[in-house]
Amino acid sequence: MSAVKVLKNHLKPGRVYRRSELAKWSNAVDRHLQVLVRNGDVQKLSGGVYYCPKQTMFGSSPPQDEDLVRAFLKDNRFYIASLNAYNALGVGATQLYNELLVYNSKRDGHHVLNGRPFFFIKRPYFPSKPSEEFLLVDVLNNLHLLAEDKESLLANVARKATSLNQSYLSKAVQDYGGGRAKKFFAESLSGGTVAYGL
């Protein structure tokens, strides 16, 4: 059996691999991967990240976002979010965004994986699942990324904050809020004049 075939036989459809994972099954992994990519057996998603396509009745299915990010980060600890989630808060956010946010402890910056934009945000703490309190704090953290009118959004966030469980919100602010977000919520929840420093 050829060395390329040996490598191919270890691949499972629908899985995303790091080059380093594949090297254990090949003594010339870069050359063998070039052959597999050329033959359509694997797809190169980004530097050092490859996907073994899974065929369905509709053709080749794309990799799951979680699998992409896991292979890219070489880590299982991350949280994939979308700015679109703010639209359900009732604070006046209505825009639609294509880019996904990836909270993690390793990488910062914009990266394109499999042709899709991801914005990696390095943070010490982030939830595994979003709560309404976390999302409200997150609006403040990511205000610079939003296309909505900032003043109107801030006024609505301050109003929304008073309707949430104050204990849960205070904990979310403490755990996840940046400096300006902490100041904003401290002022809004105490009934003082709210300023964000736009």
SS (H, E, C) the chain: CCHHHHHHHHCCCCCEEEHHHHHHHCCCHHHHHHHHHHHCCCEEEECCEEECCEEECCEEECCCHHHHHHHHHCCCCEEEEEHHHHHHHCCCCCCCCCCEEEEECCCCEEEEECCEEEEEEECCCCCCCCCHHHHHHHHHHCHHHCCCCHHHHHHHHHHHHCCCCHHHHHHHHHHHCCHHHHHHHHHHHCCCCCCCCC
pLDDT of residue 194: 54
CATH number of 3-63: 1.10.10
pLDDT of residue 140: 95
Report the chain (198 residues): mean pLDDT per 10 consecutive residues: 87 92 92 94 90 85 92 94 94 92 95 91 91 96 92 94 93 94 86 55
Residue ranges of the chain assigned to CATH 1.10.10? 3-63
pLDDT of residue 189: 73
pLDDT of residue 57: 80
